[in-house]
Amino acid sequence: MYDRKNLKNIPKKPGIYIMHNHAGDIIYVGKAKNLFNRVHSYFQNPKNLPIKTQIQVSHVESIETIVVDTEMEALILECNLIKEHRPRYNIMLKDDKSYPYIKITTQEKYPKILMTRNHQRDGGRYFGPFTSSTAVKQTIEALQKVYPLRRCNRKVAKGVKRGRPCIYYHMGQCLAPCTGKIEPEHYGENVQKDIAILSGKNKPIVDQLTAEMMQASENMEYEKAADCRDKIQAIDFVVSKQKIVSENQQNQDYIAFYRIKSQKETNLSGEVDQNIACVQVFNVRDGKLLGRNRMMVDGVKDETDEAIMTNVVKQYYNGSHFLPKEIILSCPLDDEMASIEDWLTAQRGSRVRIIVPQKGKKDRFIQMVEKNARLTLEQYFIEKRQKEKRQENRVESLQNLLNIENIPKRIEAYDISNISGTNNVGGMVVFEQGKPQPKAYRRFKIQTVEGQNDYASMQEMLFRRIEHGMRELKEGKTPGESSFLPFPEVFMIDGGKTHVDAAQSILSMYPELNSVVCGLVKDDHHQLRGVIYQDQEYQLTYGTPVCTFLNEISEEVHRFAITYHRQLRKKSMLASRLETIPGIGKKRREALMRYFNTLENIKNASRDELLKVNGMNQKSADAVYQYFRTSGEKND
């Protein structure tokens, strides 16, 4: 818990405050005009604080401050720290991906058209961002069929005809400037037409193509007429999804979000998570709606609309490569409106305006964006509930199949992996409420069993797992503090009746455990055939929920166990190879691996680098160096 005596040391200046928990992890980053006043506000009477803030403060162990000269510097630093550390108690955008653009490299003599996710100020012409890379690729392909630009990276011939063009030239989808077949002026006409189509100025081009098509048809030049028709259809494909929003061809982003503040606001059945909001960003480029970004925001229950919108804008545009001239919001920001405008203006290099419309076209459009946010959030909850229901049905179907009393909330599955009794290991995977819990998975290196004895190996693994859990139970640990608690309702063994009997003999030593044991029975092709429980095999019907569920468990535990086995086998093979070198024993082999990490690094090491390893002398270093060169493995 944070010592409040340290509050007097907080400076009364603008800057950043960083809250750490007992483990030293950053749990919250905030900025303030006056750090002293802002940090003190967290440590008032807890009754005056939102529940989320009370919990946050209870985890604070130390507070770090960074003093800056201006509020702008504090804003930039706050955004960067949140993006880097993703603190638990900051409002976070769950969608942090970059979006694709269409780029025409107009800074080059013979420009190309391509998809990129990196918007730079390099003299190129960018269109977007778009939300679908597939749509971008389809658009580029359509444009290449109408007014093709070069596709390859071959050096462009300047005034000299050389080489042979690629297949795209013969397909009519490239003008082959790399072979000197077209002049820059004629090539530039295609570039300008592609730019015009992407900018929505396609009507004059379509009118010209339509006139050419009609003329060719009258002259019975049907192939030429068909080519014009195909070009018109390709142009229509490019512009068909562009909704006209503004006639003055502005670049704008419309941002709105929706959250459910009470159950009365929605017709959804069951409880909804009031801690999640859906953000919609509609991208308008040159007056046309080109894309929509949908993101979920976590940790909003106790936040004001202004605070949520402020965090969304800061995180969405932090490091953004493209900033529009106007950003239209569904609600105002908090008292940071002016500083955020200045920050965005500095990023863009020209004025950025933040607008909260009250009436007119922009207000109607932002209401449409908010409506989309509401529909998306409701759909998110519906799909989430359907997924949870499917998982519940899978667990219930297992309960019904085995006819056990309680629904198995926790299932643990076990498998053994070895080759002829070497590198004998076991794996334990955990499913809770029908979902895998990778953090609870455990690996076992079998210690007491010599040779290939899967039954004894399974018994050792179960015994160690249960003993570990019992010890933690006696120590008073809770499931949140323990790595082996709680105990499962079902122990699931990868094997038949003999494997189950071996496991049951271990569980019989712990009558206080109210757990059952079943086995996953495979056929001759190692496919799941059924489940054995209480000496009875239950056949599985392919495609049923319980069969799908048990197949998932079986494949997961097998994958987990065999992956561990392969790791150990690889290490043992490496050890045996290194220890065949004269003068290299176990200690020097371990020292080499600690220093170089991989066998490849050891292969490529010089004599001087090998001598730096603790315990290596000139003779042993020469032996290792020569081994990998005389054996022909240097460049394996």
pLDDT band at 99 (very low <50, low <70, confident <90, very high): low
Distance CA 308, CA 91 (A): 7
Q: Name residues whose C-beta falls within 8 Å of residue 48's C-beta, 6 or more positions apart in sequence.
A: none
Closest CA to 41 of 26, 68, 19: 19
Residue 69 shares a structural domain with residue 158:
no
Residue 131 shares a structural domain with residue 31:
no
**DSSP 8-state secondary structure symbol assigned to residue 254:** E
Instruction: Give the model confidence (pLDDT) of 308-339 as tens digits.
Output: 999 899 888 886 667 889 999 999 988 778 88
Within a domain: 268: yes
Residue 528 confidence (pLDDT) above 90: no
Task: State the pairing for strand pair 101-104/92-93.
Answer: unpaired
In which domain, by residue range, is 33 found? 4-90
Distance CA 222, CA 172 (A): 17
Q: Name residues whose C-beta falls within 8 Å of residue 577's C-beta, 6 or more positions apart in sequence.
A: 599
Closest CA to 565 of 420, 413, 414, 416: 416
Within a domain: 214: no
End-to-end CA distance of the chain: 55
pLDDT band at 56 (very low <50, low <70, confident <90, very high): confident
Instruction: Give the model confidence (pLDDT) of 428-485 as tens digits.
Output: 999 998 889 998 999 898 888 877 788 998 999 999 999 999 998 888 888 877 778 8
Query: In 155-303, which residue ranges form alpha helices assigned H by DSSP?
Result: 167-170, 184-198, 203-218, 222-239
Within a domain: 391: no
Tell me the β-bridge partners of 28: 19
- Model pLDDT, residue 159: 56
Which comes out higher in pLDDT, residue 141 or 438?
A: 438
Q: Which range among 55-59, 110-114, 136-140, 157-161 shows the weakest confidence by mean pLDDT?
A: 157-161
Residue 264 shares a structural domain with residue 376:
yes
Peptide bond into 511 cis (omega under 30): no
Mean pLDDT of the chain: 82
Write phi, then psi, for 191 (nearest 5 degrees). -60, -50
Residue 411 confidence (pLDDT) above 90: yes
pTM (predicted TM-score): 0.55
- What total of structural domains would you count in the chain? 5
pLDDT band at 162 (very low <50, low <70, confident <90, very high): low
- Model pLDDT, residue 632: 47
> Looking at residue 22, which CATH number applies to its domain?
3.40.1440.10
Residue 530 shares a structural domain with residue 498:
yes
Residue 525 shares a structural domain with residue 624:
no
Domain boundary among 60, 90, 120: 90
The pLDDT of 522-539, averaged and rounded, is 87
- Tell me how long the chain is: 636
Q: ∠ CA(611), CA(617), CA(622), 5° rounding?
A: 75
Residue 430 shares a structural domain with residue 529:
yes
Residue 559 shares a structural domain with residue 586:
no
Q: Render the burial of 436-475: b for 16+ CB within 10 Å, e for the rest.
A: beeebbbbbebeebeeebbbbbbbbbbbbbbeebbebbee
Tell me the β-bridge partners of 410: 432
Residue 255 confidence (pLDDT) above 70: yes
> Looking at residue 309, which CATH number applies to its domain?
3.30.420
**DSSP 8-state secondary structure symbol assigned to residue 439:** G
Q: Which two tokens stand for residue 190?
A: 């295609």
- Model pLDDT, residue 267: 66
Within a domain: 32: yes
Distance CA 505, CA 518 (A): 13
- Model pLDDT, residue 465: 92
Q: Which helix (H) or strand (E) holds 131?
A: none
Q: Name residues whose C-beta falls within 8 Å of residue 426's C-beta, 6 or more positions apart in sequence.
A: 414, 415, 416, 417, 443, 444, 446, 457, 458, 460, 461, 561
- Model pLDDT, residue 100: 78
Which comes out higher in pLDDT, residue 279 or 138?
A: 279
Distance CA 494, CA 554 (A): 7
Q: Which two tokens stand for residue 377?
A: 């959030």
Peptide bond into 486 cis (omega under 30): yes
Within a domain: 229: no
Residue 436 shares a structural domain with residue 467:
yes
- Model pLDDT, residue 272: 75
DSSP 318-382: TT-S---SEEEESS---TTHHHHHHHHHHHHSS--EEE---SSHHHHHHHHHHHHHHHHHHHHHH
- Model pLDDT, residue 376: 83
235: how many CB neighbours lie within 10 A of its CB?
23
- Model pLDDT, residue 410: 92
Closest CA to 494 of 446, 447, 451, 528: 528
Residue 416 shares a structural domain with residue 557:
yes
Distance CA 151, CA 163 (A): 16
Within a domain: 247: no
Residue 35 shares a structural domain with residue 144:
no
Residue 201 confidence (pLDDT) above 80: no
User: Torsion angle, CA of 619/621/625/627, rounded to 10 degrees?
Assistant: 60
The pLDDT of 132-158, averaged and rounded, is 76
Q: Which of 139-148, 190-199, 352-361, 375-384 has the highest mean pLDDT?
A: 352-361
- Model pLDDT, residue 115: 87
pLDDT band at 635 (very low <50, low <70, confident <90, very high): very low
Tell me the β-bridge partners of 243: 289
Residue 515 confidence (pLDDT) above 80: yes
Residue 634 confidence (pLDDT) above 50: no
Q: Is 401 exposed, middle or buried (0-12, 13-18, 19+ CB in 10 A)?
A: buried
- Model pLDDT, residue 430: 94
Domain boundary among 90, 110, 132: 90
- Model pLDDT, residue 575: 58
Percent of the chain with pLDDT over 90: 14
Q: What is the CA radius of gyration of the chain?
A: 33
Instruction: Give the model confidence (pLDDT) of 260-272 as tens digits.
Output: 877 676 766 667 7
Which comes out higher in pLDDT, residue 370 or 598?
A: 370
Residue 556 confidence (pLDDT) above 50: yes
Instruction: Give the model confidence (pLDDT) of 570-583 as tens digits.
Output: 666 655 667 778 88
pLDDT band at 131 (very low <50, low <70, confident <90, very high): low
Domain boundary among 138, 173, 199: 199
The pLDDT of 412-420, averaged and rounded, is 83
Q: Which helix (H) or strand (E) holds 462?
A: helix 454-474
> Looking at residue 461, which CATH number applies to its domain?
3.30.420.340
Within a domain: 426: yes
Q: Which two tokens stand for residue 371?
A: 């409506």
Residue 414 shares a structural domain with residue 552:
yes
Residue 96 confidence (pLDDT) above 50: no
Closest CA to 333 of 351, 350, 316: 316
Under 8 Å between Cβ of 308 and 279 = no
Which comes out higher in pLDDT, residue 576 or 626?
A: 626
* Chain center to CA of 615: 44
pLDDT band at 421 (very low <50, low <70, confident <90, very high): low
Matching residue, tokens 């561990």:
564
Closest CA to 499 of 554, 458, 449: 458
Residue 544 shares a structural domain with residue 434:
yes
The pLDDT of 415-425, averaged and rounded, is 75
User: Torsion angle, CA of 589/595/597/599, rounded to 10 degrees?
Assistant: -50
Within a domain: 399: no
Fill in the amino acid letter for 588. Answer: R
Matching residue, tokens 């400037």:
177
pLDDT band at 487 (very low <50, low <70, confident <90, very high): very high
